[in-house]
Amino acid sequence: MGLIRKLLLAVLVFVVLVVAGLFLLPKERIAKVASAELSKALGRDVVLSGDLGISLWPVLGVKTGTVRVAAPDWAGDAPLLQAEALNIGVSAAAALKGDVQIKTLELVSPEITLVKATDGRESWAFGTGDSGESNPREVSLESAQLRDATLVYEDRAAGTRERLSALNASLSLPDFSGPATLKASAIRGKAALALDATLSNVSGLLSGKLVGLNAQVSAPGGTLAFDGQVSKTLDAQGALNISAKDTGKFLAALGLDASAPPKGLGQTLTLKANVVYAGGKVVNLRSMVLGLDQNSLEGDVDIRLNAGDRPLITAKLRAGALDFAALASEGGSGEASTGWSKTPIDAGGLAAVNANVRLTAASVDFGMVTLGATDMSVALDRSRGVFTLNKAQGYGGTVVGEFVLNNRNGLSVGGNLSVLQADVKPLLKDLSGVERLSGKGDGQIRFLGSGASLHAIMNSLGGSGGMAMGQGAISGFDLDKLMKTGSGTGGTTIFNTMGASFDIKGGVLTNDNLNMALKNYKTTGKGRVGLGARDIDYTFVPTALNARSGKGLAIPVRIKGTWDNFKILPDLKGALDLNFAEEKAKAEEKVKEAVTTKIEKELGVTVGEGESLKDAVKDGVEDKLKKELLKIFD
């Protein structure tokens, strides 16, 4: 409080000195004396130049030319303050009583440079302590204005430099023990900022007390409002309300990380909470309600601002239905026949903070996987997010494992998921777009893909897994019809059990050990499924166990084409090879014998021991041609 009084008293002394000097000294001399007195009062070199304009009653007024207030030696060459003009008016009646009642204080086009040293020294600190008066004078400031100012703030410890231009500000302090109001606007970069604030008690603030503060900051993209209490060290507590229609633009305007979060994580943002800000290091949010695009969460959050190169967030949150599908694809689900989306995925928002979050939600949609009631942990560390499923319901079963988003060196998506008694159809649809297999099953999958779009990720997938099912169905394929007519297109095949393992490489899933049991049938299978190309080339070999008097009848079936347009092609040649090898061999032998007899009779050729039928026929034909050729000479 003594510092503020000291500055305002210096203003009063300056005005009185100038006015009194009017009757004793020329204006040039008055300026020099006033400069010396202000330098003494502030402990800094103060230079006034130009003509002085003076008024006497009812306002003691002084108008100066250029004003320059030096910075401390350690801060550099730039002055603390340099302005084109300084206009001051004080109440003449109050001055006669010894009180300080500033009517007007205006700086025209000032350039203000504030520097904070690495050791914490501040270039704007003129000294501390009280004025030493036993009967302090009454001090008030009716109106103080900055017009077309430039403000530079350099924090050498943090290595940051901020610049505000076109700064216009108006401060009113009618009673030093009462409220102060501040209205200000400025340009930061290309962003227009505005501040409207009311402080309940200035003297209380300067004496170290918590006093009331109501403030609102407006910037491109959003607003921030605070209604609570603050101290002179900027410790604060109260109600915080943030509304951002464009979070990336809002953060950039405030000088924070300008990366737009992925959709679902706050491209638009609303926040209401009771906040405690302590020591410039910790922010506590209690009873928080947070809106991130279409998602809404509530709970308690702690933020450490001095935790390294980015803030650290620790939170315990609750939510209803959460939609993070855009984390897997900003451009769509990829269910259309044209293929997976090639729209670039912007995951830059993962770099904004580090975090450890515990979350319970009614449901969570990750784009590639959708879960029901979920208890999960989220660990975000230097652009890598790990979503661990502590307990989750999904696809009618239980899901455990983890899902990973890593944007440290290009975007990659991975996971290690296990499901127990889940509905296979919706699960396979979400993971790969396949939806012709239905039933309950257990499964496990490890996968990893990378790329700037969902198309690139799906075409790069690698991993492995397996599944085991009880009774289920395959739509679009009728095994009974196939075995009876040779065509199995359409219809449904019901099976009792099915099991398989698979590998994934380069976006292609391969399998060679499918086993499926049906009533009166067994089926094996092998082939490939293009997860990236969205195609299939797979061969089933169903065997009718009771056919051919118990010998069985197997008809291979090849499924080939795209996921949206494939064909089912029975392999009849393969069926002959599988089912009638013995009969085929006997038939071939009979045919061979019959052909040999016929050829020997027609050509007069005898197949010798160790000679093939082909060679014998060739020799026989040559002999016959030779005989016919000789007849020319008869």
Q: Quickly count: other Cβ atoms within 10 Å of residue 298's Cβ.
A: 14
The rounded distance, in Å, linking the Cα atoms of 198 and 499 is: 71
Q: Would you state the pLDDT for residue 396?
A: 86
Overall average pLDDT of the 488-505 stretch: 85
- DSSP annotation of 261 reads P
Q: Would you state the pLDDT for residue 245?
A: 93
Residue type, 356: N
Cis omega (within 30 of 0) for bond into 58: yes
Helix 2-21 with 27-42: angle, nearest 10 deg: 160
Q: Would you state the pLDDT for residue 295?
A: 93
Helix 613-630 with 581-603: angle, nearest 10 deg: 20
Q: Would you state the pLDDT for residue 428?
A: 77
DSSP string, 210-239: -EEEEEEEEETTEEEEEEEEE-TT--EEEE
The rounded distance, in Å, linking the Cα atoms of 271 and 285 is: 10
Q: Quickly count: other Cβ atoms within 10 Å of residue 568's Cβ.
A: 18
What's the pLDDT band for 491 if we cut at 50, 70, 90?
confident
The rounded distance, in Å, linking the Cα atoms of 396 and 187 is: 55
Q: Would you state the pLDDT for residue 15?
A: 52
What residue has token string 């202000």?
38
Q: Would you state the pLDDT for residue 248?
A: 85
Lowest mean pLDDT among 41-55, 119-133, 169-183, 356-370: 119-133
DSSP string, 288-325: EEEEETTEEEEEEEEEETTSSSS-EEEEEEEEEEEE-G
pLDDT at 550 exceeding the cut of 90: no
Q: pLDDT over 70 for what percent of the chain? A: 71
| Burial (0-12, 13-18, 19+ Cβ within 10 Å), 83 | buried
The rounded distance, in Å, linking the Cα atoms of 288 and 279 is: 21
Q: Tell me the pLDDT tens digit for each residue of 67-119.
A: 888 898 898 888 998 999 888 776 666 555 655 566 777 889 999 999 999 99
Q: Which of 540, 543, 538, 586 is nearest to 561 (CA)?
A: 538
The rounded distance, in Å, linking the Cα atoms of 197 and 587 is: 102
Q: Are 365 and 394 in contact (CB under 8 A)?
A: no
Report how far apart the first and last C-alpha atoms of the chain are (Å, whole number): 143
Overall average pLDDT of the 552-570 stretch: 80
Lowest mean pLDDT among 163-167, 310-314, 542-546: 542-546
Q: Are 267 and 250 in contact (CB under 8 A)?
A: no
Lowest mean pLDDT among 58-62, 143-147, 412-416: 58-62
Overall average pLDDT of the 533-554 stretch: 77
Overall average pLDDT of the 307-327 stretch: 86
Paired with 278 in beta bridges are 282
**Distances 102 to 70, 90, 197, 202 between C-alpha atoms, Å:** 23, 4, 21, 16
- DSSP annotation of 344 reads P
Q: Which residues contact 95 (CB under 8 A, 6 or more apart)?
A: 12, 15, 16, 60, 101
Q: Would you state the pLDDT for residue 8?
A: 52
Give kind and range of the element (H or E) at residue 355.
strand 354-365
The rounded distance, in Å, linking the Cα atoms of 632 and 634 is: 6
Q: Which residues contact 335 (CB under 8 A, 6 or more apart)?
A: 433
**Distances 224 to 6, 244, 247 between C-alpha atoms, Å:** 34, 8, 12
Q: pLDDT over 90 for what percent of the chain? A: 32
Q: Would you state the pLDDT for residue 625?
A: 45
Q: Tell me the pLDDT tens digit for each residue of 30-81.
A: 456 556 766 776 778 888 776 666 655 554 567 778 888 889 889 888 899 8
Pairing of strands 354-365, 312-323: parallel
Answer with the residue of higher pLDDT: 461 or 306. Answer: 461
Q: Would you state the pLDDT for residue 297?
A: 94
The rounded distance, in Å, linking the Cα atoms of 579 and 95 is: 118
Q: Are 298 and 304 in contact (CB under 8 A)?
A: no
Q: Which of 183, 262, 202, 254 is nearest to 224 (CA)?
A: 254
Q: Tell me the pLDDT tens digit for each residue of 575-610.
A: 556 555 555 555 555 556 665 566 556 555 555 555
**Distances 346 to 350, 355, 368, 567 between C-alpha atoms, Å:** 9, 19, 17, 38
Provide the token pair at 450: 């990378």
pLDDT at 201 exceeding the cut of 60: yes
What's the pLDDT band for 215 if we cut at 50, 70, 90?
very high
What's the pLDDT band for 430 if we cut at 50, 70, 90?
confident
Q: How many CA atoms lie within 13 A of 72 on its CB side?
A: 15
Overall average pLDDT of the 443-471 stretch: 92
Overall average pLDDT of the 397-422 stretch: 90
Q: Would you state the pLDDT for residue 361?
A: 94
**Distances 472 to 466, 541, 627 between C-alpha atoms, Å:** 16, 18, 72
**Distances 108 to 27, 59, 189, 322 between C-alpha atoms, Å:** 21, 20, 22, 53
Mean pLDDT of the chain: 79
The rounded distance, in Å, linking the Cα atoms of 444 and 427 is: 12
Q: Which of 213, 214, 167 is nearest to 193 (CA)?
A: 167
pLDDT at 124 exceeding the cut of 50: yes
The rounded distance, in Å, linking the Cα atoms of 539 and 498 is: 15
The rounded distance, in Å, linking the Cα atoms of 36 and 416 is: 75
Paired with 355 in beta bridges are 313, 380
The rounded distance, in Å, linking the Cα atoms of 114 and 150 is: 11
